[in-house]
A and B are shown apart, each in its own frame.
Chain A
């Protein structure tokens, strides 16, 4: 089954304690992305990756890091989490199916609470 998986699904942590949210896709997609979703603000892109070893900032990259060492994995790293990073996080990958196809598949989400 084609899917994007994220772990953990729920996480409660304390300010300053480094954490990593993993993301993996089994569709051989080149493009992957991380979003956060907040009430009243919608989905905002944090970082994206066009391919292995190619990453770039989205709209809200401050406080986050990413890496793309393998095509299937795109972990999100919070070096020193703060309460304003409490949010619902989604990983996504895009199928590149030709000039008219940009089908994006989302993971199930990770709900992060930073106290």
Chain B
């Protein structure tokens, strides 16, 4: 079983829809949970990070972590065509391990005008 599982999609939604992106993981040592957005031919950029469990909101984006289920989610409200990108989840452990990220393979999202 891979450490981090992420549905590669592609996922296509109409503009204005609520998008739900998810990852599951198996390593209970993971403490830091991140979402990155990667546009075509660009490097990943950090969207949100969460330490341990809980929710975090930033504008149209909400990140949720459920450590009991080993499941993390990213919600995008009022999706825009500019949100079309590949979304990567990433996780890391505590201490020195917090610097070694394990990535999901990414979900490709298209928001159709």
Residues of A within 8 A of B (CB): 4, 31, 33, 40-45, 48, 50, 58, 90, 92, 94, 99-109
Contact = CB atoms under 8 A, between A and B. Distances in A.
A48 B99 contact: yes
24 contacts: A31-B99, A33-B101, A41-B105, A42-B103, A42-B104, A43-B90, A45-B100, A48-B99, A48-B100, A90-B43, A90-B44, A92-B43, A102-B34, A102-B49, A102-B92, A103-B46, A104-B34, A104-B46, A106-B36, A106-B43, A106-B44, A107-B43, A109-B41, A109-B42
A79 B79 CA distance: 45
Contacts of A90: 43-44
Contacts of A48: 99-100
| Most chain B beta carbons < 10 A, residue from A4, A43, A45, A101 | A43
Nearest to A32: B99
Given A43-B88, A90-B44, A102 B100 contact: no
B25 interface: no
Nearest to B95: A99
B51 A45 contact: no
